[in-house]
Amino acid sequence: MNTSPSGAGVAGAAHLWAAEPGFLNTASFGLPPTPAWDALQRAQDDWRAGRVSWEGWADATELARASYARLIGVDPADVAVGSQVSQLLASVADAVPDGGVVLVPEQEFTSAVFPFAVQADRGVTVRTAPLAELADRIDAGVDVVSFALVQSLDGRLADYAGIVAAARAAGAWVVVDATQACGWLPFDGALADVVVAGAYKWLMSPRGTGFAYLAPQLRERMRPSQAGWFAAEDPHSGYYGLPLRLAKDARAFDVSPAWHAWVGTAPALELIEQIGVANIQAHDVALANRFLAGLGLPPRDSAIVTVDVPGAEQKLAAAGIRAAVRGGRVRAAFHVYTTAADVDAAVAALLS
């Protein structure tokens, strides 16, 4: 089987997915491309038979780290790897000064809010504001502004540049959750102090892998409180005992990788790089707008859209369309494996 793109852009890679018709739920989880699926199966077969050592599986972590860094335009030395957004943000939240103020959008996904909220015993306060007003609410009293580039609830895009500009003027840290953005939305990660992303959605990886860009100036204020053997300068030079010998870059904040999940992550990110995020964006947004147009709604600039159609959940289920319901509205997400036929079938179901 051909496991490489056969041409430029999304169309040339379409044969690398085995999606059944009607999957519009990437905002919940992405579907693995064939190279990632095959790599994962080989690794699990090797594990079952005990025919290899584990070091090769761990190597996939470094390949994935480098891919993520290229996708968001940062140095791999400034990228830590972990398992979940909340885990990756824990050390960031621990570094917020006692009595600090963290500003987040209303209805932000809890994994990007709770790590800060649990700091309340140190006097840390979490304030909320409407997403559209977030930049205007940043003042000298705000220490951190934390927000998703693309809202999980409804697909709205944050004013990244505007929020960053306001935060810099106020001296606040900028913490970005790119889980619903990375893989389809081009952006400059270096504008922020922190960019976290879970890889199991738009990066189409197994659940249990994630990344955090940690700017050097912020790392100086952070403590790697979850440090283990993989956070060492050379993890393989000595597995036992003191002295403490942490990496001098963002790898000090790594947690020990779940091997097989990373084996499936590295090829997925490599394929995204080959296709090109701008090409994926054009494909995804065009399909989202086709969906909206079919329902008589104006276009948007996101791969995630929500619609309020009476009986929508039941209508989609009856037609075999897999989407999500968030806040009482249907949330549909469109990615590289989505086709015009998927969109038209969903529209027909909702209009029935």
Scored b (16 or more CB within 10 A) or e, 156-175 reads bbbebeebbebbeeeebbbb
Q: Angle of helix 55-72 relative to helix 259-275, nearest 10 degrees?
A: 40
End-to-end Cα, the chain, rounded Å: 39
Considering the entire predicted model, what is its pTM? 0.96
With CA atoms as reference, report the closest residue to 120 among 93, 143, 138: 93
Amino acid at the residue 8: A
pLDDT of the residue at 6: 65
Domain 55-273 has CATH 3.40.640.10: yes
pLDDT of the residue at 258: 96
Q: What pairing do the DSSP bridges indicate for beta strands 79-82 and 101-105?
A: unpaired
Sign of the CA dihedral with 259 first, then 261, 267, and 269 last: negative
Write out the chain's pLDDT in tens, 352 residues. 567 776 678 999 999 999 999 999 999 999 999 999 999 999 999 999 999 999 999 999 999 999 999 999 999 999 999 999 999 999 999 999 999 999 999 999 999 999 999 999 999 999 999 999 999 999 999 999 999 999 999 999 999 999 999 999 999 999 999 999 999 999 999 999 999 999 999 999 999 999 999 999 999 999 999 999 999 999 998 899 999 999 999 999 999 999 999 999 999 999 999 999 999 999 999 999 999 999 999 999 999 999 999 889 899 999 999 999 877 789 999 999 999 999 999 999 999 9
pLDDT of the residue at 4: 74
pLDDT of the residue at 328: 73
What's the angle, vertex CA 71, arms to CA 302 and CA 217, rounded to 5?
105
Q: What pairing do the DSSP bridges indicate for beta strands 329-333 and 304-307?
A: antiparallel
Domain 11-31+276-350 has CATH 3.30.70.330: no
Task: Domain ranges for the chain, please list them.
Answer: 11-31+276-350, 55-273
